[in-house]
Every structure is written in structure tokens, then in C-alpha cells.
């Protein structure tokens, strides 16, 4: 038997891991339902419609969305992020449906706010769900996305959401200058307390596939979004994007996707010291669900571990399709 010095080792790290109570007591980060934002899809029909590439996720009618707001309140989830599914009949080249004050999102907002006024409602400001070409902005004949003309549309969309009862608008389009233009419009129209969550560091990622199925843009998307979403190779660029959005009036910032970009979450959080949210996107959710369904991983354990990773990286909150499941387990 090996003979060790009497004092070896003076520090035994395993002492603080030997029982659940001590592990909990010394945990550096905690996860609660208050850290979660529930991402949901709404549709202009009846009942619930399953999204095939997102197991366990349905598109919700306006009535079901209102019930979901009540459920969020019961679980202690503070906010819901809404994303619309627009059928082919509601799309056109310019995404005009996004500006309709009585469109799907405004009607869902009003119903949800009436059902659970204590729940924060976050809306997506972008045109991709409403355009026949699937881009977040307008599309010129030569295939380019005109920045400033798109921003004019986004401002109108944001105002429609504010008037319908949104608490936070979250521009996800990645056009230059849109945060400043929306903030100015809010101030001009008396929405001085409206919050803006800027998708400041949104990458041109392959993890968005199931989401595009869910909102109905996957088959219609012409080309890709690399001319306006960030290059996955870059991190310094993310910091520049965040700085610009904050200077233009953003209250919070977003990093998207989540787990593959935890380094960006950490850099943004520590550099700026502002509320930094992360979006656990559809591809991340679908991978965990698919592996769990095949028995390759413990789905609940990996779900909770993945959410804790965001907290460890410095995220103030996490937009996730796991919100209901996780909050239920957290109690």
C-alpha cells in the first residue's frame, strides 16, 4: 500500500460533494422558474397543432395561448415569448400582415394579458413569418435585404405590438439601426415605458431548422440570412453589436443560439453588466428530445443541466421551449 504523508491531501475537494445538502449549500449558481421565459407558437386557428420537428411542442390558438399564460403564472414563470405561425394566405412579399393592429399577435397579446395580466409578454419583431420569401426583412429584386426600408416596417410592427399590450418587443431581424428607430418611435408615440430586448448577437446558425418549420418559413426561405445575421466565426463583432444596441436604447440584450455560444453569453454579460438573455433555440431542444426519446440520454437530467449552463455562463434569463417542463420539476 502506498504510504502518503499524514497531511496528504490537505484540501479534499470531495468533502463538499458528499451529500445533496452540502452540494446545494455551496452551489455557485441556482436555477428557478423565475429564470425562464416560455417560448410558444401561436396560430390563427382552433386548438393545438403539433410541430413535428419539435416533439412535445404545439402551435396554440389564441384561446390556448391565454390558458398558457395562466399556466405560466401557476408555475412561477415570469414571461412568455410569442412567435406566430402564418399560413400561406397571410403572407406576401412585403410581410404586410406583420403591421396589422388586429393581426394574430395583437389578438393573442390582448387575450393573454386579460387572462394573466401579471405575466410579461415578449414579441418577436421581424418579418420572416409574414413574407413569402422567408426573410426577416424586405427583399429586393436582386436578392438583397434593404436595411433602412426594412427598419421602417419593423418600427410599425413594434408599435402595433406595443398598442396591443406587449411588455417587451424583441427585434430579431439584425438590421442596423433598428433599435434606435424603434426607441424613437416609442418615445414619440407615448410608449416611454416599453422595454426593448435586442437580439444583439444573433448568429447565422444551422440550429434554427425546427423553428422555421414551426412558423412556416422553412420551405419558403430563399437563400440564407448570412448578409444580416452574424458569422459564427466572430466574437468581437458580437461585442460591437451589443454596444451599438445599448447605445440606441436597448434595455436588455440577447445571444442566440444558446449552448453553442456560451462563450458569447459570458463575454457579453461580463463586459457590459446588463441583463443578458440567451435563447435555447429549437435545434438545441430537438436534439435533447430526440436523444431522450431514443434512450441515449436521461432527458430530464440533460434538460436541467443545459439550463444551468446558461446561468453559469452569466445569463440573466433563458428563453426555452423547456420552460413548462423545467418549472414543473423545479417546483
pLDDT of residue 222: 87
Catalytic site residue from 91, 225, 256, 311: 256
- Burial-class residue 237 by CB neighbours within 10 Å (0-12, 13-18, 19+): middle
To 5 degrees, how large is the angle CA 206–CA 131–CA 96?
A: 145
Contact 261, 199 (CB under 8 A): no
Compute the distance between CA of residue 153 and CA of residue 158 in angstroms, rounded to an integer: 9
Compute the distance between CA of residue 61 and CA of residue 48 in angstroms, rounded to an integer: 6
- Burial-class residue 20 by CB neighbours within 10 Å (0-12, 13-18, 19+): exposed
Catalytic site residue from 202, 225, 289, 311: 202
Return binding residues for Mg(2+).
241
Q: Looking at the domain 30-330, which fold is it?
A: TIM Barrel (3.20.20)
Compute the distance between CA of residue 266 and CA of residue 252 in angstroms, rounded to an integer: 15
pLDDT of residue 5: 72
Mean pLDDT of 174-194: 98
- What DSSP string describes 128-158? TTTBTT--SS---TTS---HHHHHHHHHHHH
User: What's the number of CA atoms in the CB half-sphere (13 Å) around residue 294?
Assistant: 7
pLDDT tens across 186-200, in order?
A: 999 999 999 999 999
* Helix, strand counts (H, E) of the chain: 11, 10
pLDDT tens across 17-71, in order?
A: 999 999 999 999 999 999 999 999 999 999 999 999 999 999 999 999 999 999 9
Is residue 96's pLDDT more than 80?
yes
Compute the distance between CA of residue 167 and CA of residue 209 in angstroms, rounded to an integer: 28
0.85 cut: is pTM over it? yes
pLDDT tens across 273-293, in order?
A: 999 999 999 999 999 999 999
**Displacement of CA 255 from its chain's centroid (Å):** 9
pLDDT tens across 218-267, in order?
A: 888 988 999 999 999 999 999 999 999 999 999 999 999 999 999 999 99
pLDDT of residue 1: 67
Does 113 participate in catalysis according to the annotation? no
H/E element, 202: strand 195-202
Return binding residues.
241
Does 153 participate in catalysis according to the annotation? no
Mean pLDDT for all residues in the chain: 96
Amino acid at each position: 500500500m502506498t504510504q502518503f504523508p499524514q497531511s496528504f491531501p490537505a484540501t479534499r475537494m470531495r468533502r463538499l460533494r458528499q451529500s445533496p445538502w452540502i452540494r446545494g449549500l455551496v452551489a455557485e449558481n441556482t436555477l428557478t422558474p423565475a429564470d425562464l421565459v416560455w417560448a410558444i407558437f401561436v396560430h390563427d386557428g382552433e386548438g393545438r397543432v403539433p410541430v413535428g420537428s419539435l416533439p412535445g411542442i404545439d402551435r396554440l390558438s389564441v384561446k390556448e395561448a391565454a390558458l398558457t399564460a395562466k399556466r405560466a403564472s401557476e408555475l412561477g414563470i415570469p414571461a412568455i415569448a410569442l412567435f406566430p405561425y402564418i399560413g400561406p394566405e397571410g403572407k406576401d412579399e412585403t410581410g404586410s400582415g406583420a403591421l396589422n393592429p388586429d393581426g394574430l399577435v395583437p389578438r393573442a397579446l390582448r387575450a393573454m394579458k386579460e387572462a394573466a395580466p401579471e405575466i410579461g409578454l415578449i414579441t418577436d419583431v421581424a418579418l420572416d413569418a409574414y413574407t413569402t420569401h422567408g426573410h426577416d426583412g424586405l427583399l429586393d429584386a436582386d436578392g438583397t435585404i434593404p436595411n433602412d426600408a426594412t427598419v421602417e416596417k419593423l418600427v410599425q410592427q413594434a408599435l402595433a405590438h406595443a398598442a396591443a399590450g406587449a411588455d417587451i418587443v424583441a427585434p430579431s431581424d439584425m438590421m442596423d439601426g433598428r433599435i434606435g428607430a424603434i426607441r424613437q418611435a416609442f418615445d414619440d408615440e407615448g410608449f416611454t415605458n416599453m422595454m426593448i430586448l435586442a437580439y444583439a448577437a444573433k448568429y447565422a446558425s444551422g440550429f434554427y431548422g425546427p423553428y422555421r418549420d414551426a412558423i412556416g418559413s422553412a420551405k419558403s426561405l430563399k437563400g440564407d440570412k448570412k448578409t444580416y445575421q452574424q458569422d459564427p466565426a466572430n466574437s468581437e463583432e458580437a461585442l460591437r453589436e451589443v454596444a451599438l444596441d445599448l447605445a440606441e436604447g436597448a434595455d436588455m440584450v440577447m445571444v442566440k443560439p444558446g449552448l453553442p455560444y456560451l462563450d458569447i453569453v459570458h463575454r457579453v454579460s461580463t463586459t457590459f453588466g446588463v441583463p443578458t438573455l440567451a435563447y435555447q433555440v429549437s435545434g438545441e431542444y430537438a436534439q435533447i428530445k430526440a436523444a431522450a426519446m431514443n434512450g441515449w440520454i436521461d432527458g430530464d437530467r440533460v434538460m436541467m443541466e443545459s439550463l444551468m449552463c446558461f446561468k453559469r455562463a452569466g445569463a440573466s434569463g433563458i428563453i426555452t421551449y423547456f420552460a413548462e417542463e423545467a418549472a414543473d420539476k423545479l417546483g
